[in-house]
Homo-oligomer: A and B are copies of this chain.
Amino acid sequence: MKAIAAFVLTAVVATSASPCMAQFAKPEDAVKYRQSALSVMGTHFGRIAAMASGKAAYDAKEAADNAAIVEFMSRLPWAGFVEGSDKVGNTKALPEVWSQNAKFKEASEKLMAETTKLNAAAKLGTLEALKAAVASTGGACKNCHDSFRAK
């Protein structure tokens, strides 16, 4: 049943990131939206990463709960990277998000694929499976940050 739920969830959310939903009144709203979504995702990923690194006690249920949220949140931020929202507010998004948009899109898709694997791995209920998936997901975060986010 959980597998079905994950599938439906992924389908629902994946289609939600379509360009026609990228409706923001102002570029500032788009920046706030993407930063908010990334922040929520980061909070929950951070809790799993803390377990994987031994900084927090491993709790299989909490890991799974957090991973489900990470997977869901990973679908959202991309719609906020609308044209004209570079150099807006306190964004750290580099111009490469738009000038190398295919590469950016690929990096975002890589992250989404990794968070899906993370969610599945967290449900296995072992710290070992979690550690491997956290490393892969963290790599996908870093990959995108290195190329598309200002230091």
Within 13-54 of A, Cβ neighbours of B (below 8 Å) are at: 13, 15-16, 20-21, 23-24, 29, 32-33, 35-37, 39-40, 43, 47
* Least CB separation from A65: chain B residue: B16
Among B1, B21, B65, B72, contact of A72 (Cβ-Cβ < 8 Å): B72
What distance in Å separates the Cβ of A5 from its nearest Cβ neighbour in chain B? 4
What is the size category of the interface that chain A forms with chain B? 35 or more
A13 and B43 contact, Cβ closer than 8 Å, known pairs A1-B4, A36-B37: no
When each residue 61-100 of chain A gets 1 if its CB lies under 8 Å from chain B and 0 otherwise, what string results? 1101110110010001000000000000000000000000
Counted per complex, copies of this chain come to: 2
Among B24, B32, B37, B62, contact of A20 (Cβ-Cβ < 8 Å): B62
Q: Check if A132 is an interface residue, CB within 8 A of chain B.
A: no
Can you list 14 contacts pairing A with B, beta carbon distance less than 8 Å? A1-B4, A2-B8, A4-B8, A5-B8, A9-B9, A16-B66, A16-B68, A21-B65, A21-B66, A29-B43, A33-B39, A36-B39, A40-B76, A72-B72
